[in-house]
Structure 1
């Protein structure tokens, strides 16, 4: 991408942060009064929290018309994604320049991710089943344990609210022979809320790689169901349960190599991954006293994949990697007076691995005890969290975080924090046959952050400056031919996010400046762009809505030695919606309007210009 184009996108992204002027109509900005729970496990508005938080609600999801979950994340403040092509292919999410497995994914409170690879399967999350996304940037290990060095992304599935049953449905299609269908029902009474939905997404996709495998398109299909049910008794006791289940197939390109000489023997006839991605939970909430609530829940997440190749010289192969995480959580929420709030509890989970690969160990448990205390002293808000983890493999680990905030005026709030975090080695790191290193220790980090938030009427702006020092990074040692704790990294940067929302105009923009350096080599960390930016702008009329998005990234490097350059790029997407009646809406979107060639991972193609339409029905 040309430098002038990138500069323009950055200026566009920074505009709302620098804007100053009259308030718009009476409608308040949609981010300011939104309650989030991910940052501290206690309910707080975005303005109250002492963390860097971004909320994406259901209204915004439908307005943006994403084809993939990463369409919602890419270019947000502090967030960068990388994909081995589009539609169900391996995806990485980098939060504040940390590794993809340094971002913890929660689905309705359930920890989700592969115990073998360590990362979450972001590519299988269905946007149509999502009610809200909460992104918390910065370490959260002292609250959630391992994996949350860079931050936490929590996905909440569709919810029911008080009222008669209301049906929602959609049908859509577009480029690459893409087809979408879905139906759901949601409602509730004074004591019971429910939501159940089913959706299906299928596409022929694009050719993932030009010089690997065949030249055919590599398709993807995903069938997902989601359900959420809660019932509150007269005593105040509440039973709840939720599930998100997805299964399908994702095709890819693959060549066969000779097992002795590693010579290329030619492409397989077919290569694909059959997957299951699921999170479920049941629990009970009990109001023990007027000031003390307790919650106990049991949950399970599954990340299962079967990699199959067919044809080839030796007839193909089949490998299966199935991981399951069983978890128990006990959370207590106590109000200790008007100005002090305490959350404390226990997280216990066990990872199990099954499949065609014989690991030296196929299970391990982790038990964590945590507490979060928040209080107000005069004009100052103080917050501290402490957690102790006992892991079957590496022993114990203690992490903590402190934060401070103050309201300088009705419109301006300042904050600062310091936190430690860690990431446990994966089963692949520890036990993979001929590769693992059972002596590995967790990766450790220390992060300091300063930030401020300005809110005035329909405007808001947020800025954060951060620095993370990461020790004991796990990397492959070519001399020892196994992973070792050998690397150190320093990651520092600036995030800006701003927005404006009225009944007619909605816009949100972000800009991230990042310096992510491997301290051993002095090189940039791979696939981390120094500059990312995003602008979403929408205008509503009586029945018509029009909008567009600009996502821009500067150059990055594919390899640790910084020899293989990934060019920067800018993408422009357009969208429109027309309200045919109070219950029916027609939507259309064009992605990559200018048909730009770009990649986010070396050697993997991304789609050119693509158009999609969707017809929605929402019973009123």
Structure 2
């Protein structure tokens, strides 16, 4: 089995060197390297986890209007949301909750401390170089929030060479406009990339019977930057940021006393004149990487994630209001990579972070810290690989928690690799779960226990030439699952079983990629299905080149699911077809066009919230060569 040099592993795992990672095609050959599964740089075929890679080439080919369009229907991944374009979105991995899915941006831990989930809706596709999706528990490596899996996003980056400019402008249905410009380059010791983009749309009317009938718009302005510099003694300094701010409109009704003289006349007073969320979503990081010895590299980083929102209503009988929720996570990491032998690698370190909450809501507590110590050991024994990880977390609110994972792999043939794993994980309750003040219809419960899980997985991967097929079966049991209103409570157990199949093939001018997920997600206390989990989902991406022309299609199909825990509100299954085409006008100029939801299907992924009908978009892109 091929091994990557330790120094390369360090660079890959922290971001700047990923621009030089070989990635020859979307069939994910042996040269495709990922770093998220174990914090060790490995090819996709070497890893002992279920991994999906989406590179910049694929992002540009698929032409997504929203980041979640890249994820929906992938193996083990499902997306639901309260409408398109900047509206609340949930991304579930292997049937777990959306806040069981950890989001990292260039190593920075993201997510709202109040709600617990990541703001997937605000991520700008144009600023993203690469996405790595790891399915299965990773709490023993990353700590809380990784019961279902981890998705890591790497912002666009530079490589050695003269400065090169990229730019784009586009528009389409719903009065949508987008534009952006960036520059990237580098020298032997310095790499840099800086870019800015803007997306704006009138959107659609998300809810028919709530608020007004006007479309609910969205705008997002994003800045991204990466800079790294290697000193003559080998020490490397680096920093990166991804910053977004904007506004997302939504529908809202005002409630109050219909008759001020009658305390029992509480009801709907009518729609607000306007309702919107002003947001800031940011990941910031800076650090130093030190080659201590030929076999030991050490890295120290400081980071901060910000998830801030002002929920504003205007007009109405009572004149509107502003609800502000600002959460920040200050992070300190110390990571050490050691090469213990030709076939053994060890990663060990400390992650410490503090969550801070500020706003108009008076939480019983407004900050808490977590300190985690972790280690990952991987060794190769002939055709067999073993990997073990162990982590100890000390949380200010609930105390100590230890999690672990062990995985085995065997190279059965040159093309076939088998794997098996077992892992434990946990999820800390959110500030809303624990500390939200009693407002009548909801209040926090400080006696909640962390959610805990254990997961078993068997998998096999076939990879030869331009073809790969990956199959995995798994079972996860989640104890103390948090649910309920007005008082959150722990339920005894949820059980999730599933089968995932993912594959890709390149044949001549054709490029194909497909995935299917079969899921059985059950609340063991009630016997009901967990909400918004389709038992069957599938996705197919197919593209073909004709010289300067290329055409492609994406088909997504999902079976029925339920919108509520009692399985009374049924969401119908649906199928979507999206078409795309591109023309290489010149070596540096390209014109792209898409038509989404070609069949103009009416569908919902969350009850009561509309999704777009047929829509068309065009984009002109310039890339200096």
- TM bucket (normalised to shorter chain) is over 0.9
Contact 2:29 / 2:466 at 8 angstroms: preserved in 1?
Answer: no
CA contact (8 A) 1:464 1:495 kept: yes
2:602 corresponds to:
597
- Is the counterpart of residue 616 in structure 1 residue 621 in structure 2? yes
Displacement after TM superposition at 1:503 (Å): 6.0
Structure 1 unaligned regions, length at least 5: 1-25
Q: Secondary structure at the match of 1:486?
A: strand
Q: Does 1:206 align with 2:201?
A: no
Give the SS at the match of 1:328.
Answer: strand
1:4 corresponds to which residue? none
2:397 aligned residue (388, 393, 397): 393
Does 2:477 align with 1:473?
no
Runs of 4 or more, structure 1, over 3 Å off, are 26-32, 259-262
Task: Deviation per CA, 1:511-567: give whole Å up to 9, x if none.
Answer: 000000000110000000000100000011210010000011000000111010000
**TM alignment of 1:204-353, pairs within 5 A:** 204-258=202-256, 261-353=265-357
Task: Tell me by how many angstroms 1:379 deviates.
Answer: 1.9
Q: Distance in 2 between matches of 1:582 and 1:469?
A: 53
- TM-score normalised to structure 2 length: 0.94
Q: Could you tell me how far 1:258 is from its partner in structure 2?
A: 1.2
User: What secondary structure does 1:601 align onto?
Assistant: coil
Cα shift at 1:29: 3.6
Provide Cα deviations, 1:204-257, integer angstroms capped at 9, x if missing partner. 000010000000000000000000000011211110000000000000000011
1:443 counterpart = 2:451: yes
Report how many aligned residue pairs link the two structures: 592
Q: CA RMSD in A?
A: 1.1
Q: Is residue 514 of structure 2 the alignment partner of residue 509 of structure 1?
A: yes
- The residue aligned with 1:490 is 495
Q: Is the 8 A contact 1:27 1:503 kept in 2?
A: no
Do residues 559 (structure 1) and 557 (structure 2) align? no
Separation in 1 of the partners of 2:161 and 2:508?
Answer: 25
Compute the displacement of 1:269 (Å).
Answer: 0.4
Distance in 2, matches of 1:451 and 1:344, equals 27
Indicate the residue corresponding to 2:11 in structure 1: none
How far, CA to CA, are the matches of 1:234 and 1:455 in structure 2?
A: 40
Matched, 1:373 2:386: no
Contact 1:527 1:557 in 2 (8 A): yes
- Give unpaired runs (5+ residues) of structure 2: 1-23, 258-262
Comparing 136-145 with 481-490, which one deviates more in the overlay? 481-490
2:104 matched to 1:106? yes
Instruction: Indicate if the aligned counterparts of 2:29 and 2:467 stay in contact, CA closer than 8 A.
Output: no
Q: Do 1:536 and 1:548's aligned partners in 2 also have CA atoms closer than 8 Å?
A: yes
The correspondence for 1:178, drawn from 173, 176, 179, is: 176
Which structure has the higher relative contact order (CA within 8 Å, separation 6+)?
1
Q: Which residue of 1 aligns with 2:532?
A: 527
Using the TM superposition, give the Cα deviation of residue 485 of structure 1 relative to its aligned residue in structure 2, in angstroms. Answer: 1.3
Structure 1, 254-263 or 418-427: larger mean CA deviation: 254-263
Q: Contact conserved, 1:30 with 1:501, CA < 8 A, in 2?
A: no
Instruction: Give the equivalent residue in structure 1 for 2:260.
Output: none
Task: State the alpha-carbon separation in 2 of the partners of residues 84 and 278 from structure 1.
Answer: 22
Question: Residues 31 and 121 of structure 1: is their aligned pair in 2 closer, same or farther, counting only changes over 3 Å?
Answer: farther
1:27 Cα offset (Å): 7.0
The alignment partner of 1:294 has SS state of strand
3-state SS, counterpart of residue 233 of structure 2: coil
